Amino acid sequence: MKEIMEKRRPRVVVIGGGTGLPVVLNSLHKQDVDVTAVVTVADDGGSSGIIRNYINVVPPGDIRNVMAALSRLSPLELKVFQYRFEANDNFFSGHAIGNLIIAALTEMEHGVFGAVQELSEMMHVDGHVYPVANEPLVLHAEFTDGTQLAGEAEITAAHKQIKRVWVTPQPDSDDEIAKAMPAVTDAILGADLIVLGPGSLFTSILPNLMVSNVGEAIMHTPAEVVYICNIMTQKGETDHFTDADHVQVLNKHLGANFVDTVLVNTERVPEDYMDWKRWNEVSTKVTSDTDALTRMGVRSIRANLLQLRDAGAFHDGTKVVAELMKLLAHKHIQ
């Protein structure tokens, strides 16, 4: 009997957190690909931090934004899900509706992993959303001056150059080391393309890679690993960093050169978007060092990836995804 074999859709795993990840996912899920988002659970600031500390659940903010980016709900339904209470509401001040829903489902399902899968069905999410761990993690940093801090919000607020970061379970956890659920590592090992970022190098991307079995899976995956380099440096943390410096930090944290390709923005950032007084976190445009990238065996794809908004200089999700789709077009999916 003659069998008709159809090519499967390419599998893309996007790893990170913060505000950069949803920008890419919002464009990526509209393509003919299977998308999996792996999201950090080390955030401890803002609404997420309050919920995390009050009822001991995984910080929901980054997960909420990723789910909204991949959802096929109506604009009104998404607006309600993303709605954040006004600052003059003393009880709910600063909390987003979606954060409260995720926290409630986490209690009902006795874990965030099951909660997110249930909510993904309710929200008609295109693809999979996986918290990198089923419990909150604590981010630690050692700075170049030898001092150390614990907690993502504290680390970010320090505005100091970071030497290394690592994650641990919370002190009251039964686990000694941070581990991801099997679905996370299975997705990484079965991917055709793995995308890191965009997002904060030390507080959005590396917290995921520092989960022990995630780092191991990244090292053993047959997929091409693509790093979307930040457009701007982060004040204190990555001052004067080149694109190659970002890649070197990633490689050093896993102890090997695992990044295959880096996407670099070539468009000029206007001077008024590099004003330290105007922007709290970013400072200057990341410069390029193609020779250093070549020495590390990293392919550099340079393109205009910039989108300017009132809040700053960001990646344009449509432009980034166009480059990712070109990479996939050159891969032979069996």
> pLDDT (tens digit, 9 = 90+) per residue, 94-103?
889 999 999 9
Q: Per the structure block, which two tokens stand in for 193?
A: 């393309």
- The band of 38, judged by pLDDT with boundaries at 50, 70 and 90, is very high
Q: Which of 213, 222, 214 is nearest to 191 (CA)?
A: 222
Residue 1 clears pLDDT 70, i.e. is over it: no
pLDDT band at 16 (very low <50, low <70, confident <90, very high): very high
- State yes or no: pLDDT of 333 exceeds 50: no
Q: What distance in Å separates the CA atoms of residue 172 and residue 138, rounded to the nearest whole number?
A: 11
pLDDT tens track for 146-172: 999 999 989 999 989 999 999 999 887
CATH class given for the domain over 11-42+128-329: alpha beta
* Domain limits, the chain: 11-42+128-329
**β-strands 282-285, 306-309: how paired?**
unpaired
Percentage of the chain modeled with pLDDT above 70? 91
pLDDT of residue 49: 64
pLDDT score recorded for residue 47? 72
Does position 332 have pLDDT exceeding 60, yes or no? Answer: no
pLDDT value of residue 293: 98
The pLDDT value given to residue 312: 82
Residue 5 pLDDT class (50, 70, 90 cuts) = very low
CA contacts within 13 A on the Cβ side of 174? 1
Are residues 208 and 243 in contact, defined by beta-carbon separation less than 8 angstroms? no
Task: Taking residues 310-319, report their average pLDDT.
Answer: 90
The more confidently predicted of residues 303 and 330 is 303
Q: What pLDDT was estimated at residue 211? A: 97
pTM over 0.75: yes
